Amino acid sequence: METELMRIGVSLPDTLLSKFDEIIEKRGYSSRSEGIRDAIRSYISYYEWMGDIKGHRVGTVAVIYDHTKRGLSNALADIQHHYSHLIKSSVHIHLDHDNCFEVIVLDGDGEEIKELAEAIMALKGVKFSKLTTVASNEKI
């Protein structure tokens, strides 16, 4: 069965597109479109994985953000205060004049951890956000 292809338009900063083009060339993709399809599949898979975060979990949220973005630092602080019962520790590092890296260590209900991570991901000025969790009773 053949799948119908749909055309879309996407606006990207030059630097992001240049980095993406370098990666698709190194990975041997036949086209930019194939690389984008693969990236979207990965995003969907990660989103579905996040939907399965339930029960007691421990984990981290790693965030890189532009601290010069108006109101962003306050919004991040508000989210963290709202979910303070989950937060065990956090580390804040200044990467350069504009960018900060923060790692938040979490312990608690998986669905609440996911809510916290999604609230952070949705903020304008957040350049990278990655949630990693494991069931606290999982044998490693």
- Rounded to an integer, what distance in angstroms lies between the CA atom of residue 108 and that of residue 115? 12
State yes or no: 100 annotated in a binding site. Answer: yes
Residue of 7, 136, 117 lying closest to 51 (CA atoms): 117
Query: Which segments of the chain does DSSP mark as H helices, in order?
Result: 14-27, 32-51, 72-82, 110-121
Q: Is 56 annotated as a binding residue?
A: no
Query: CA–CA separation, 90 vs 60, rounded Å?
Result: 9
- Is 94 labeled as ligand-binding? yes
Cα 63 from Cα 130, distance rounded (Å): 7
Q: Which two tokens stand for residue 88?
A: 């065990």
- Strand order through the sheet with 99-109: 87-94, 99-109, 56-66, 126-135
Is residue 67 annotated as involved in ligand binding? no
Binding residues for Ni(2+): 81, 92, 94, 100
Binding residues: 81, 92, 94, 100
